[in-house]
Structure 1
Amino acid sequence: MESLKDDTKGQWIALSGLVISLILIGLAALANQAMLAGYHSSNAALEFPKENIRELNLHTKDNARIIRDLSLSINQTSNETVPVIFENLFDSYSDQVKKLHAVHGETVNVSLVSINSTNGTYNHDIDMILVNIRYNDGNTYYASEPEMIEVRE
């Protein structure tokens, strides 16, 4: 038994085992940090509201065309001009969009800048409109000023 107390050859094996285990723990921690960094960077890209902005632009363009058609049909039975009817209907659309997006905590402002009519008169058809579109969800601010929308097909 006495020879085992003086034998120190096993200390190198224990020390090398400790060093190898510390290296493995360090590598596991680095791999974990790499996975978390990749997750957070990809999650940040998903949080960008590009789909909300794209849908807002598409809905505005589609509704501008619908409002033009409604303005033309209302003009046949009304004394108001097509651009005046269009402005009233577009203001109503803008208010509805504000309220719909406010429910989700987003600030949206869609405002009509100008209307370009056929033949330069206000009693005829509308060709193109200019619209300011602003979107803000607290993290992302988007502004398209002015957005040109062709309402004639």
Structure 2
Amino acid sequence: MESMRKDTKGQWIVLSGLVISVILIGLAALANQAMLAGYHSSNAALEFPKENIRELNSHTKDNAKIIRDLSLKINSTSNETVPVIFEGLFHNYSSQIERLHAIHGETVDVSLVSINSTNGSYNNDIDMILVNIRYNDGNTHYASEPEMIEVRA
């Protein structure tokens, strides 16, 4: 019995087994954290609403051109100037687009800053407008202030 107490070779085996098991547990925890970090970073990239922002900018540009054409047509039968008609129609577009995005829980603000005409005939035609476009879905805030839109084709 006395010889077993003096023999310490088995303690080194037990100690090395304990160290190896602790190292394996640590490596497993690190691998788990790496997987979770990769999942969360790729998921965050998918949640960014870049298509919504692109569509908002594209629709605003397209509709500004359509509103300009409508303003010219309405001007031929109305006493109001083209910029006044354009402002009214653009305000209607802005309020409609705000309501459409509000249905999806997003706040959108498209506001007209100024109307410019390069040829000097301010009452008869519009060449360019400046608008502020703001988008917020609770996670992402986007602002383009001012966005220059050429409405003359």
TM-score of the two chains, using structure 1 as the length reference: 0.84
| 1:124 corresponds to | 124
Aligned partners of 1:117 and 1:124 also within 8 Å: no
The alignment-based identity, stated in percent, is: 85
What is the CA-CA distance between 1:29 and the residue it aligns to? Answer: 0.5
| 2:106 corresponds to | 106
Q: How does 1:15-34 map to 2 (within 5 A)?
A: 15-34=15-34
Residues 2-44 of structure 1: CA distance to partner in whole angstroms, max 9, x if unpaired?
A: 8xx7776555444433332221111010011112122222322
Between 119-128 and 106-115, report the one with greater CA deviation.
Answer: 119-128
| 1:56 corresponds to | 56
* Mapped partners of 1:121, 1:60: distance in 2: 24
Q: How does 1:90-105 map to 2 (within 5 A)?
A: 90-105=90-105
* Structure 1, unaligned runs of 5 or more: none
Residues 37-65 of structure 1: CA distance to partner in whole angstroms, max 9, x if unpaired?
A: 22222322333322222221111111101
* Mapped partners of 2:50, 2:73: distance in 1: 35
* Mapped partners of 1:119, 1:79: distance in 2: 21
* Structure 2, unaligned runs of 5 or more: none
| 2:72 corresponds to | 72
Counting matched residue pairs gives: 152
* Mapped partners of 1:138, 1:56: distance in 2: 17
| Runs of at least 4 residues off by over 3 Å | 5-15
Aligned partners of 1:118 and 1:124 also within 8 Å: no
Residues 50-90 of structure 1: CA distance to partner in whole angstroms, max 9, x if unpaired?
A: 22222211111111011111112222232322212111110
The residue type paired with residue 36 of structure 2 is L
TM-score of the two chains, using structure 2 as the length reference: 0.84
* Mapped partners of 1:21, 1:27: distance in 2: 10
Between 61-70 and 17-26, report the one with greater CA deviation.
Answer: 17-26
The residue type paired with residue 70 of structure 1 is L
* Mapped partners of 1:120, 1:84: distance in 2: 16
Q: CA RMSD in A?
A: 2.4
Between 79-88 and 12-21, report the one with greater CA deviation.
Answer: 12-21
The residue type paired with residue 23 of structure 1 is I
SS in structure 2 at match of 1:79:
coil
* Mapped partners of 2:44, 2:18: distance in 1: 39
